[in-house]
Structure 1
Amino acid sequence: MILRLWVALLALLMPLAAHATPDGYTRYFIGDRAAPTPGKRAPGLLLSGGGDWDLGAFRWFTAKAGHGHIVLLRASQGPELGEEFMNVVGGVASVETFVFDDRKAAYDPRILSALEKADGVFLAGGDQSRYVRFWQATPLSALIDRLAKDRPIGGTSAGLAIMGWNGYGAFGDDGITTPEALANPVGPAVTVVGDFLHLPHMQRIFTDSHFMIRNRMGRLIAFLAKVRMTGSRTVVGLGVDEKASLVVEADGMARLMAPAGTYAWLVEPSGLPAKAQLGEPLDYPAVRITGIGPGSAIDLRRLKVSGAAFSGVAKVSGGVLTGVPVPPAQSITR
């Protein structure tokens, strides 16, 4: 635990980029900036769980952007995702990518102007702790909130992780595991972050990505326990599997676009945890889990699922999670 605290402290004090650029970012561009936006843009959210993109979901996003101009934001790597939007997803006029390496870039008028002109904004994967450090409480985060009123906002992996009103900060950690989080749910390694983005219909949502393939159910329950003990007592979890995407319409109705065997998971603890103390394992007697499949729909305003793929009530006792419902296809093979 002491080592983890020192790692977190050093991460905050160390320079955030080994090769900082003079303006705090690198820009990449592909497409035709002068091309008119062919269609009418409309609001919506793309919540992608990471890994390979579901092309149907991403084409839904580009259609919401009027097949126009996309701005992609990230804090690592380069132009690869912009090229994928242009050449694989297709149907866009241009993609402009900004790769941040310093917080000052979130105040840069050139980036803010590009966002204002964009027909859609996409938050790439990477390390969400850098997004929190670079973007939280800046003109850029405030602008994303405002743009969400009339154009689509999307995110994948780390980008998805910051789209709820509460999220995992991942400070000084490569990604806390379920056993670690359940063993000390209110400890300093469970770095939950609030008051960052304020996207429509996401007020009570805590998002997590790469969900079941990385065994993240338990850690999401631990995140919810900490938030409920220290902040919002009605927050719920929304985990999205790799390759899966939830597409959210302007009215808050969402559906899953995903290959067979992948889901989104609505995680709703009952009340406060029975025990969530510093240095002690979590006890949470009842956590309702609802599976959202391709035939389901979820109303994010009311947090109601119709056509659920499966559901059940799990529990955490002494830091051990049991009773997680099994999707039907998996239950047949067991």
Structure 2
Amino acid sequence: MRYPLAILAFLLAYSASGCSKNNGGTTSTEYALNPDPAAKRPGSIGIVGDSSDVVTPVNGGLVLMGGGADVDAAFKWMISRSGGGDVVIIRASGADAYNSYVNTLGKVNSVETLMINSRALADDERVAGIIRNAEMLFIAGGDQSNYMKYWKNTKTMEAINYLLNVKKAPVGGTSAGCAILGELYYSGEKGSVVSAEALEDPYNPNMTLYAGDFLKAPYMRSVLTDQHYVARSRQGRHLAFLARMLKDQGIGAKGVAADERTAVCVDETGKAVVYGTGSAFFLATDNNKIPEVCVGGAPLHWNHGQKAVRVYKIMATPQGNGSFDLNSFDEPGASGGTWHWWWSEQGKLRIN
């Protein structure tokens, strides 16, 4: 068939514009002329190293970091357990600064940061696939209420739990990332609560606590973490969190807390060692020691002869110090630190 010159010119221009659709709704010409890696790796805000997937042998481990300056030794500890595979950083705000930082600490195939800041992204199978293929995962700081809001009950949550319990790759988190690694967690979704407020009224509206509905890290059953611990005087609110869990849920909750520049590294057997320059704390409650007064509008009174909660404190060192067994939260397996008793007396934290 012969076309008039005007029609022929139109057809040629239409073809050159690449308007023939493929199944994804993007033109084949666009793929050829403008390859976009983000289209295949949604959520990715940067990657260093080889983007092709590798498989390396891994050893399980958990890093609970207290925020502030990162602890180099803890990242090296995780890298050694990753077998030098693919490292993935996940967050809901911020940038990709961890990529170059982690890449300088040890030999890995790649480091990639995913910005997962919507439930649509968190439920994207391609995002979940990147996480499942990781040999090391680190959850950055930020706002743990966003992590709960965006990630809970999504494919991202399933992928993290897969790494923790099936693949058994090392997983860590700092600050907000650490806050969600306990089976019990404080979300901060209505605003932060400080120790004085929590002890004065353990049912303060900002005391938003959850149990067993998010991440399932090994050895973190019935554990509630806290961070920036000494720097922000959070010991009192942590005690109030545990009192609420015991009073409301009947859970003999445990606590693991790290100060800034401090990391608790838990190996595949549940043994914890503390790296950095601050301190870590391990809190053990007793099911038989229900708080004497834990009601709304009244100061927390949890005394039991000044022996309400037993606490083990370990001072960190850059080379790693102490030992604590998260299987028992008791004297066997505890070394390099000191035992203390904590209690609340009419809303005031006391330490012996």
| TM-score normalised by length of structure 1 | 0.84
Q: Are 1:225 and 2:243 an aligned pair?
A: yes
Aligned counterpart, 2:327: 301
Are 2:43 and 2:127, in contact at CA under 8 Å, matched by a contact in 1?
no
Return 157-166 or 304-313, whichever deviates more: 304-313
Distance 1:317 1:72, change over 3 A: same
Aligned counterpart, 2:26: none
Aligned counterpart, 1:269: 285
Q: For 1:174-189, what aligned pairs fall within 5 Å after superposition?
A: 175-189=192-206
1:136 is matched with which residue: 146, 152, 165?
Answer: 152
2:138 is matched with which residue: 102, 110, 122?
Answer: 122
Distance 1:232 1:99, change over 3 A: farther
Deviation at 1:317, TM superposition (A): 1.4
Aligned counterpart, 1:312: 340
Tell me the SS of whatever aligns to 1:267: strand
2:268 is matched with which residue: 226, 236, 250?
Answer: 250
2:254 is matched with which residue: 236, 243, 252?
Answer: 236
Deviations 1:166-208 (A, max 9, x none): 01100121x2110011111123210112221011110021000
Q: For 1:93-242, what aligned pairs fall within 5 Å after superposition?
A: 93-149=109-165, 150-173=168-191, 175-194=192-211, 195-242=213-260
Are 1:24 and 1:104, in contact at CA under 8 Å, matched by a contact in 2?
no
Q: In the aligned structure 2, how far is the partner of 1:91 from the partner of 1:280?
A: 54
Return 296-305 or 211-220, whichever deviates more: 296-305
Q: In the aligned structure 1, how far is the partner of 2:125 from the partner of 2:53?
A: 22
| TM-score normalised by length of structure 2 | 0.80
Q: In the aligned structure 1, how far is the partner of 2:245 from the partner of 2:220?
A: 15
Aligned counterpart, 1:31: 49
Are 2:50 and 2:109, in contact at CA under 8 Å, matched by a contact in 1?
yes
Are 1:52 and 1:242, in contact at CA under 8 Å, matched by a contact in 2?
yes
Q: In the aligned structure 2, how far is the partner of 1:101 from the partner of 1:69?
A: 22
Question: What are structure 2's unaligned runs of at least 5 residues?
Answer: 1-37
Are 2:181 and 2:215, in contact at CA under 8 Å, matched by a contact in 1?
yes
Are 2:197 and 2:204, in contact at CA under 8 Å, matched by a contact in 1?
no
Distance 1:24 1:222, change over 3 A: farther
Aligned counterpart, 1:91: 107
Output the amino acid matched with 1:312. Answer: H
Q: In the aligned structure 1, how far is the partner of 2:42 from the partner of 2:252?
A: 38
Tell me the SS of whatever aligns to 1:77: coil
Deviations 1:76-135 (A, max 9, x none): 111112221123x23222111111221121110110111121111111100000001111
**Which structure has the bigger radius of gyration?**
2
Question: What are structure 1's unaligned runs of at least 5 residues?
Answer: 1-20, 326-334
Tell me the SS of whatever aligns to 2:177: helix
2:309 is matched with which residue: 281, 287, 309?
Answer: 287
Distance 1:203 1:246, change over 3 A: same
Output the amino acid matched with 1:70. Answer: V
Are 2:202 and 2:240, in contact at CA under 8 Å, matched by a contact in 1?
yes
Q: In the aligned structure 2, how far is the partner of 1:299 from the partner of 1:309?
A: 12
Are 1:233 and 1:272, in contact at CA under 8 Å, matched by a contact in 2?
no
Are 2:284 and 2:329, in contact at CA under 8 Å, matched by a contact in 1?
no
Q: In the aligned structure 1, how far is the partner of 2:335 from the partner of 2:228?
A: 23
Return 215-224 or 191-200, whichever deviates more: 191-200
